[in-house]
Amino acid sequence: MKAQAISHYRCPDCGPLGLLELNQVSLETDGETMEAELHCTACGATHPVHGGVPRFVPRENYAASFGFQWNRHRRTQLDSFTGLPISRERLFAVSGWPQHMEGELVLEAGSGAGRFTEVLVGTGATLYSFDFSTAVDANFRNNGAGPNLHVSQADILRMPFAPASFDKVMCLGVLQHTPDPEASFRSLAAQVKPGGQLVIDVYTLRLVALLQWKYLLRPLTTRMNSATLYRWIARLTPPLIPVAAVLRRLFGRAGARLVPIVEYSHLGLTPEVNRDWAILDTFDMYSPAHDHPQSVAIIKRWFEDAGFERIVVGYGPNGVIGKGHRRVPSAAA
């Protein structure tokens, strides 16, 4: 944890009044506090800093499968590893944000191993990135050296920041995996400054989407131990990759859905990276405890109810995209 980060963190139990102090520092490395405690001056609660990452939740929780997959596939989806701008292009296409954001304070909710973190760090913004799972360990290893990055393990419903703190808030590929996506959205919306922007995407609630293999098999796979499920997927996925690739070439995206895996050879990945990405994302389909897709109408209502304006909602590469600006209170108000 970098020293300057503490000014923006708050005790999640106390909100804006929960200022934190750094205590019990037992290890520092290259300007990072690696092992310590954060003490709340309001309620006296302590939150550990472990492995350079402040922990505001228990290390293991309902998102444990994500920690499992992202620490095993720490680099698989990084643009710097694949040599392709896949994450970069998706991030800027979805958000419409500029590629240079020096002086802005940005929040990334649900970082995974940091595929989008890597891109956001490159914009020059001061970035606070968190995940509920131990995927933060992978993100810290991948991107923690960035001087403008601060990583924490936290709950989207109890974020360790003062409300209305951020110029921009992003949450891609995460809300559907929370127990209550609408409540999670409201929590994100509360972090946006007046005039600031929120960008999300979420799986699509449509009949054709619900007729995927994953919704047929998840009643079984979500009951399996993560390690056992992963072994089966790692064994069964590679032989199905060429089948899925042929079906995609013949019938497009609908053809690719005829097999119970995903693969990305059409993106130009090497066979080895495509194999690893296919195993990773197939596991990502079947393992999460929660999978709650949403419709365009529902996402639009969320933004309206939260007091956003200039709202844009539509379909994107990973489902429904929603973005809007938090309304600035009028002077009369």
46-86 pLDDT, tens per residue?
999 999 999 999 877 777 889 999 999 999 999 999 999 99
In this model, does residue 165 exceed pLDDT 60? yes
Q: What is the pLDDT of residues 208-236, one digit of tens each?
A: 777 789 999 999 999 999 999 999 999 99
**In the prediction, which pLDDT does 209 show?**
74
In this model, does residue 160 exceed pLDDT 60? yes
Domains parsed from the chain with CATH numbers: 1-55 (no CATH), 63-204+294-326 (3.40.50.150), 207-286 (no CATH)
Average of per-residue pLDDT across 141-154: 95
**In the prediction, which pLDDT does 62 show?**
78
pTM of the model as a whole = 0.94
In the numeric block, the tokens 């419409």 are attached to 96
**Between 299 and 318, the higher pLDDT residue:** 299
Cβ(120)–Cβ(151) under 8 Å?
no
Task: Convert 274-311 to b/e letters by CB count within 10 Å (16 or more is b).
Answer: bbbbbbbbbbbbbbbeeebbbebebbbebbeebebeeb
Q: What is the pLDDT of residues 122-131, one digit of tens each?
A: 999 999 999 9
**In the prediction, which pLDDT does 139 show?**
98
Report the distance separating Cα 311 and Cα 303, nearest Å: 7
Counting residues of the chain whose pLDDT is more than 90, the rounded percentage is 87
Report the distance separating Cα 194 and Cα 223, nearest Å: 43
Cβ(282)–Cβ(236) under 8 Å?
no
330 burial via Cβ count (<10 Å: 0-12, 13-18, 19+): exposed
In this model, does residue 30 exceed pLDDT 90? no
CA-nearest of 65, 148, 66, 70 to 106 is 148
Q: What is the pLDDT of residues 171-180, one digit of tens each?
A: 999 999 999 9
Kindly give, in sequence order, each residue whose CB lies less than 8 Å from that of residue 18, ignoring residues fewer than 6 positions away.
10, 11, 12, 40, 41, 42, 43
**In the prediction, which pLDDT does 10 show?**
96
Checking 22-27 for CB contacts under 8 A at 24+ apart, the result is 22/49
**In the prediction, which pLDDT does 331 show?**
66
CA-nearest of 187, 115, 125, 178 to 150 is 125
